[in-house]
Amino acid sequence: MSYFDFMLNDNARAVADEAREMVKNEIDPEYIKAMDRDEVKFPKKIYETYAKHNLLGVRFPKKYGGRGLNWVSSIAAQAEIGCLGTSCGCAFVMPDIVGEALFHFGTEEQKQKFLKPMLQGKLVSAEALTEPRGGSDFFGATSKAEDKGDHFLVNGQKRFVVGAEGADFFLVYVRTNFEPDSDPYQRISTLIIERSPGVEVSYLYGLMGTRGGGTGRLTFRDVQVPKENLVGPLHGGALVFHRMMVPERLCSAAPVIGGMRSVLEIAARYSDKRVAFGQTIRKFQAVNSMLAQGVTLLDASAAMVFQAALAADADHPKLRRIVSETKKFVTDANWEVANIAMQIMGGIGYTDVYPIERAVRDARLCQIWTGTNQIMDQLIQHEYYKEVLGDTNKYRDIEKDAMSADMKHEKIFDDEEMWKAHEETPKK
């Protein structure tokens, strides 16, 4: 039974079942351990296993290698894959993220050359947004592509690119508009840059978690990129970026469900066996309350992911707020749940006898990548103000239900209004 089981239609349930069986039977634990030891630099073998089952980017049309399903089916599969950890989860969702840009903005040639082979597992992609100078300030990117007639000449650096080690091509955001006073939203373009001379990839060692996922630094030195590799309009990278941020954030949240589920199950089984003071620790209210908190967070997170998938399928106007909230809530919940699992297990949870410590290390990143949770706050409040201030007539105005609602001289918002009310208040 999939985690979302009762919420899914038959198609989505079938995809989730297939993903669950694959994860259960076909992924070698020794490979997962080798990844955490940094002996595997990119989980190519696992990526190929996903592709063998045609599970990459199931929401894209069949003619491009997908299954013609929807977001709900996609998140149902992601939630099954997530128990493998953030590196394997990321390899699974990257075609959804890069595919969003190629599918919505790419030319037919780009779809045939990059999207289709990527969904078939023949090509590996990575996305390069973050620069050493900063990730949150995306529109300040300084990596540049100069127009040289039939090609762009690309120079610059990107860092923290997951999958860089394994990628055959990169979706890269670069500055193309060099007008000093240009609008930051009209400065950036999106390019497909194939692994080629001039594209240097250096593997980034020393990550706290998410190891073996191929996270690296990219350096571009006089890389010649053909004009036909421009994705979307010239200087129109903002359009592509905003579209890509939906899968980026939804796919940061959905796999986490599988991670949360599996650590809670380990902690629950442990607490059912472990004895202290003559009884199993699950009998202690302090322990079972922690578990209850964890399970509640897991179910709330699953509901949010499902809601966000429905909003994405409907391309709902509140989608941007909903995916940002989902990314923030679910990744914060994941951090709490991983720590709850560790706490329930006591000292042994802190060792590598159980995979809880790895889950804690992985969980921490989820609050940082794909836009930090502070950036999610910025988006959420921005979208909410826009909604609320833009439509004041939709619901009953309960301000009028207050006993003294008509005391206008008490509804003062600034100095000017205060003095105006002062003048207008009748003298006694």
Ligand X SMILES: Cc1cc2nc3c(=O)[nH]c(=O)nc-3n(C[C@H](O)[C@H](O)[C@H](O)COP(=O)(O)OP(=O)(O)OC[C@H]3O[C@@H](n4cnc5c(N)ncnc54)[C@H](O)[C@@H]3O)c2cc1C
Residues that bind ligand X (CB under 6 A): 126-130, 134-136, 160-162, 207, 210, 215, 365, 368-372, 374-375, 378
Whole-number minimum distance, CB 93 to ligand X, in Å? Answer: 11
What residue spans of 111-236 are helical by DSSP H? Answer: 116-119
If the CB atoms of residues 125 and 339 are measured against ligand X, the closer one turns out to be 125
Whole-number minimum distance, CB 337 to ligand X, in Å? Answer: 20
Whole-number minimum distance, CB 173 to ligand X, in Å? Answer: 8
Burial per residue of 79-92, b for 16 or more beta-carbon CB atoms within 10 angstroms, e otherwise: bbbbbbbbbbbbbb
Whole-number minimum distance, CB 207 to ligand X, in Å? Answer: 5
> Across-strand partners of 200?
219
Q: Give the whole-angstrom CA distance, residue 139 versus residue 248.
A: 17
If the CB atoms of residues 135 and 236 are measured against ligand X, the closer one turns out to be 135
Whole-number minimum distance, CB 274 to ligand X, in Å? Answer: 33
Whole-number minimum distance, CB 365 to ligand X, in Å? Answer: 5
Residue 424: is it exposed, middle or buried by C-beta count within 10 angstroms (0-12/13-18/19+)? Answer: exposed
Print the SS3 string covering 205-227. CCCCCCCCCCCEEEEEEEEEEEH
If the CB atoms of residues 382 and 422 are measured against ligand X, the closer one turns out to be 382
If the CB atoms of residues 15 and 128 are measured against ligand X, the closer one turns out to be 128
Whole-number minimum distance, CB 158 to ligand X, in Å? Answer: 6
* Residue at shortest CB range from ligand X: 135
Sign for the CA dihedral angle at 383, 4, 32, 349 comes to positive
CA separation (Å) from 25 to 102, 426, 427?
32, 82, 84
Whole-number minimum distance, CB 378 to ligand X, in Å? Answer: 5
If the CB atoms of residues 87 and 271 are measured against ligand X, the closer one turns out to be 87
Q: Give the whole-angstrom CA distance, residue 153 versus residue 285.
A: 64
Burial per residue of 97-117, b for 16 or more beta-carbon CB atoms within 10 angstroms, e otherwise: bbbbbbbebbeeebbebbbbb
If the CB atoms of residues 22 and 84 are measured against ligand X, the closer one turns out to be 84
Q: Is 331 strand, coil or helix?
A: helix
Angle of CA points 384, 385, 387, to nearest 5°: 65
Find tokens 């890509």 and name the residue. Answer: 244
Q: How many Cα atoms within 13 Å fall on the side-chain side of residue 53?
A: 23
If the CB atoms of residues 161 and 340 are measured against ligand X, the closer one turns out to be 161
Q: Is 193 strand, coil or helix?
A: strand
Whole-number minimum distance, CB 131 to ligand X, in Å? Answer: 8
If the CB atoms of residues 333 and 376 are measured against ligand X, the closer one turns out to be 376
C-alpha dihedral, 8 to 10 to 13 to 14, nearest 10°: -160
If the CB atoms of residues 357 and 362 are measured against ligand X, the closer one turns out to be 362
Contact 220/149 with Cβ under 8 angstroms? no
Write the DSSP symbol of residue 195: S
What does the block give as tokens for 259? Answer: 């991670």
Q: At a CB cut-off of 8 Å and minimum separation 6, what does 265 contact?
A: none
Whole-number minimum distance, CB 160 to ligand X, in Å? Answer: 3
Please spell the DSSP secondary structure of 179-206, one letter per residue: -TT--GGGSEEEEEEES-TTEEEEE---
Whole-number minimum distance, CB 105 to ligand X, in Å? Answer: 18
If the CB atoms of residues 124 and 375 are measured against ligand X, the closer one turns out to be 375
If the CB atoms of residues 72 and 188 are measured against ligand X, the closer one turns out to be 188
